Amino acid sequence: MAAEPVSRRPATGIVHLGLGAFARAFVCPFVADAMAASGGDWGITGVSLRTPDTRDALRGQGWAYYAVALTPDAPAPRRVTVLNDVLVAPEDPGAVLDVLCDPRVKIVSLTVTEKGYCHDPATGALNPDHPDIRHDLTDAHPVSAPGYLVRALQRRRDAGLRPSTAMSCDNLPGNGALLRGVVLDLAARIDPALADWIAAEARFPATMVDRITPATTDADIARVAHLTGQHDPAPVMHEPFAQWAIEDDFVDGARPDLAAAGAEMVADVTAHERMKLRMLNGAHSALAYTGYLAGHETIADAMADPVFAAYAQRLWSEIAPTVTAPPGVSLDAYADSLRARFANPAIRHRTWQIAMDGSQKLPQRLLGPLGDRLERDQPSPALCHAVAAWMRYVRGVDERGHPIDLRDPMADRLKALASDDPDATVTALLTVRGIFPADLAARLQTPLIDAARRIWRNGVRASLDTL
């Protein structure tokens, strides 16, 4: 794609940590639309916390790229020009801290995935033994997202600047409070007075983000070249749907006019967030483990299989009673819309991609609703099959005996606990306290062993067929 000068673009008002496909398919277009509607200096400097790939791909084209909405018949490419720069944190942490401390930067937004918060998934609290946190406690050049936030806030305080707003856009329960908690905990270990200042002055709005964005493939790059006549080595592919609910709580009220771009600015996002995490992400994870084991490459492939389409329905009927619909939303209609979105054949969202990092995702997606139902003595075979399928998945071998490329920060430990004995596997995995609190583990033992025996004996698909 041809380069163009970035000098005429609005100045950077947002630094985004974790510039993956989702951020470029969601946060960036929303902010671009907000500026198109209402102006403001809300250009974005993106920060990759790990690899240089995105920076290297976008540099030659002035940080512009295509975002393509995938409808079944007419893909719609859009050129996004909101990025002013992309930094690669491990190459130069000082440069990242410098931009975070620029007085014109008002917001630090994050899509660093669940594991980027360095927290304990079962409790949401900072994990002080996390290697990145141990590093960031003593080294002023951080490696973790919480480390960057704390060190930048420290420098802003010392320079007499206002703090920036830290806005989590990851699929975590109470993502604002969770981020605030890990930042305050880390700050208190470095300088208690800093933690007090952050607690009093900084803001951590919660958000619910939603747009299905599969990883870009080589075939997508070729397709975008065909559609646009331009070679873009790093386009992003996404569904047409997007929903962003944001708790309207920013430092000094400084933010782009995101409502003008279609975001819902609300006083409390809890209802939106719980509905989305449990109904969308919960069903996604359930279909990812079961579907992968049954040989379905994508969510759309699974939804085209009547056994899995019926399973999704069962899941939603178990999950819906554990969530409260946001005002004006019908949970039945929401489930109907999820069915259509999951079935969209233009979206090739791999079950393997969604299956990643299950240890970080299970608590809020599947164990939350399961725990609520167990408390009310409501049987939950569909949810139990999802968790048992995850236990089968982490064995690292699929039902045809092929190895699974298991990606999870706990992969080695989980693999070592799983075996060809369903009872022993369930018992061993339920001892992982970072995922299963003791009381929940005790209540899950019997129903999970039941589901696991069926899956180990009959295979996933046959087990779901007779649920």
Binding residue (CB under 6 A) for ligand CS2 from 16, 24, 106, 211: 211
Give the 3-state secondary structure of residue 228.
helix
Quote the least distance from Cβ 21 to ligand CS2, whole Å.
10
Helix axis angle for 381-393 and 422-429, nearest 10°, is: 90
Residue nearest to ligand CS2 (CB): 284
Residue 13's nearest CA partner among 148, 146, 105, 119 is: 105
Residue 37's nearest CA partner among 261, 205, 237 is: 261
Binding residue (CB under 6 A) for ligand CS2 from 166, 246, 354, 383: 354
Binding of ligand CS2 by 228 (CB under 6 A): no
Binding residue (CB under 6 A) for ligand CS2 from 33, 120, 185, 210: 210
Q: From 153-161, 209-217, 227-235, 405-413, give the range in contact with ligand CS2 by CB under 6 A.
A: 209-217
Alpha carbon distance 270, 48 (integer Å):
29
CA 384 to chain centre: 23
Closest to ligand CS2 by CB, 45 vs 171, is: 171
Q: From 4-12, 37-45, 207-215, 247-255, give the range in contact with ligand CS2 by CB under 6 A.
A: 207-215
DSSP state of 325: P
Binding residue (CB under 6 A) for ligand CS2 from 281, 313, 427, 445: 281
How many other CB atoms are there within 10 angstroms of residue 362's CB atom? 22
Give 113's contacts (C-beta < 8 A, 6+ positions apart). Answer: 18, 20, 170, 357, 360
Quote the least distance from Cβ 26 to ligand CS2, whole Å.
8
> CA separation (Å) from 126 to 123, 144, 181?
9, 12, 7
Closest to ligand CS2 by CB, 280 vs 455, is: 280
Binding of ligand CS2 by 278 (CB under 6 A): no
76: β partners: 69
Quote the least distance from Cβ 238 to ligand CS2, whole Å.
9
Give the 3-state secondary structure of residue 68.
strand
Residue 115's nearest CA partner among 463, 407, 382 is: 407
Binding of ligand CS2 by 238 (CB under 6 A): no
Quote the least distance from Cβ 245 to ligand CS2, whole Å.
12
Residue 312 φ/ψ, nearest 5 degrees: -60, -45
Q: How many residues bind ligand CS2 (CB under 6 A)?
A: 10
Looking at residues 39 to 68 of the shown chain, list those that interact with ligand CS2 (rule: CB under 6 A).
Answer: none
Looking at residues 178 to 197 of the shown chain, list those that interact with ligand CS2 (rule: CB under 6 A).
Answer: none
302: β partners: none
Binding of ligand CS2 by 33 (CB under 6 A): no
Q: From 53-61, 251-259, 278-286, 371-379, give the range in contact with ligand CS2 by CB under 6 A.
A: 278-286
Closest to ligand CS2 by CB, 243 vs 427, is: 243
Quote the least distance from Cβ 114 to ligand CS2, whole Å.
9
Q: From 7-15, 32-40, 206-214, 381-389, give the range in contact with ligand CS2 by CB under 6 A.
A: 206-214
What's the half-sphere exposure (Cβ side, CA atoms, 13 Å) at 65? 29
Binding of ligand CS2 by 170 (CB under 6 A): no
Binding of ligand CS2 by 445 (CB under 6 A): no
Residue 256 near residue 29, CB atoms below 8 Å? no
Residue 151's nearest CA partner among 114, 120, 191, 179 is: 191
Residue 241 near residue 211, CB atoms below 8 Å? yes
Question: Under the rule (CB under 6 A), what is the footprint of ligand CS2?
Answer: 171, 210-212, 280-281, 284, 353-354, 361
